[in-house]
Structure 1
Amino acid sequence: MLSAARVFGLILFALPALSAYGQTNEKLLAARFAGPCCQERLAAYGRTDEKLLVIAGEGVRATELSAADLAKLPHRTVRAKDHDGEEATFEGIELYDLLKSVGVPFGTRLRGDKLSLFLLVEAADGYKVVFALPEIDKAFTDRVILLADRRNGKHLSAAEGNLRLVVPDEKRHARWVRQVVRLSIRRSPS
């Protein structure tokens, strides 16, 4: 049985592209996702079993998430200025919640040698960025980092991919990764 986090991650990456090929199975989607929010998120997608996001690394449960997995996770909305300076509303999963669900040591568990762990975010085009875990942990900060799947009520554009990071409080958008496909927990070399 797939966890909600696993289902959620796989959904976001491949579904918009597949819907263009007419592979949507509305009866299957309606049977699996009875809640209105899940049905709405899945309506534009085709195959829900395609892997969208892989989460792996030190001390976490390796997880592959589909569009269906991602749709089941709690979503949040944030307003932020995009790369072009235009105000936009982004909807998605808070990165903290997603990582916590696979066993990332947050809260009182994030201390000592675990403070040398970091998150490596990888995009489909090979672009990579790093976040120290305290930058994400609610015990250290009130910052919100969103793994977004919607902008202004619509699915992300093809250029943005199925998933993108949104970091509203950063002045530069260098870590607003488009086309996110992998999240890895790594340890800084000693």
Structure 2
Amino acid sequence: MRLLFFLLLAASLSAQTLEVTGEVEKPLKLTLADLELLPHQTVQATEHGDEKAEFTGVPLYQILKAAGVPFGEQMRGPVMSLYIVVSANDGYQAVYALPELDPLCTDDPVILADQRNGKALDAATGPLRMVLAKEKRHARWVRQVVKIDVRRAAK
């Protein structure tokens, strides 16, 4: 019985996808296995209750770059009106401006974490969680991320 439970859990986690939509050249549906192939970064962060933890995951700009969102020297002019909305499994959403994600604009990485202290995220927070290591409030640390939508600010 226990083995069946773990097999079903593993199947549901491997079926988990991250959808990248909106103002992108190439809409994506990424599995956890797909995300494992992208470069990862580890950051130190303080969670609620002042507990320090180490989070590992894909820098968000890497995922957006794979979808064709311009970064670096291409981030100018009309691109500056793009922003993203990150959505959780339960409908919770948070907004991020593109310059917040670009390593040429900031030294504060924003990652889509899949690990905490070297272990996979628990079911309450994962399998994917936004981590902004230097933010004091964690309102944009979206848990159970399922979608990233790139949008353009209205004129």
Q: Please report the TM-score for the alignment, with normalisation by the length of structure 1.
A: 0.74
Any conservation in 1 of the 2:22–2:150 contact (CA below 8 Å)? yes
> 2:5 aligns to what?
21
> 1:15 aligns to what?
none
- Partners of 2:11 and 2:56 lie apart in 1 by 20
Q: How many residues align?
A: 153
Any conservation in 1 of the 2:61–2:101 contact (CA below 8 Å)? yes
Q: 1:32-111 residue pairs with structure 2 within 5 A?
A: 45-46=10-11, 50-111=15-76
Higher strand share: 2
CA shift, 1:20, in A, is 7.1
Any conservation in 2 of the 1:51–1:64 contact (CA below 8 Å)? no
CA shift, 1:23, in A, is 2.5
Any conservation in 1 of the 2:18–2:147 contact (CA below 8 Å)? yes
The percentage of aligned residue pairs carrying the same residue is: 47
Matched position secondary structure for 2:42: strand
- Partners of 1:183 and 1:147 lie apart in 2 by 11
> 1:178 aligns to what?
143
Moved over 2 A (4+): 19-24, 44-49
Q: Residues 59-92 of structure 1, C-alpha deviation per residue, up to 9 Å, x if partnerless?
A: 3311001121112222221111012210011111
Unaligned 5+ segments in structure 2 are none
Q: Given the superposition, is the C-alpha separation of residues 60 and 187 from structure 1 closer, same or farther in structure 2, using an over 3 Å criterion?
A: same
Any conservation in 2 of the 1:60–1:185 contact (CA below 8 Å)? no
Q: Given the superposition, is the C-alpha separation of residues 20 and 132 from structure 1 closer, same or farther in structure 2, using an over 3 Å criterion?
A: farther
Q: Given the superposition, is the C-alpha separation of residues 157 and 20 from structure 1 closer, same or farther in structure 2, using an over 3 Å criterion?
A: farther
Q: Does 1:130 align with 2:130?
A: no
Q: Residues 122-162 of structure 1, C-alpha deviation per residue, up to 9 Å, x if partnerless?
A: 01111111111111112211220010011111111111021
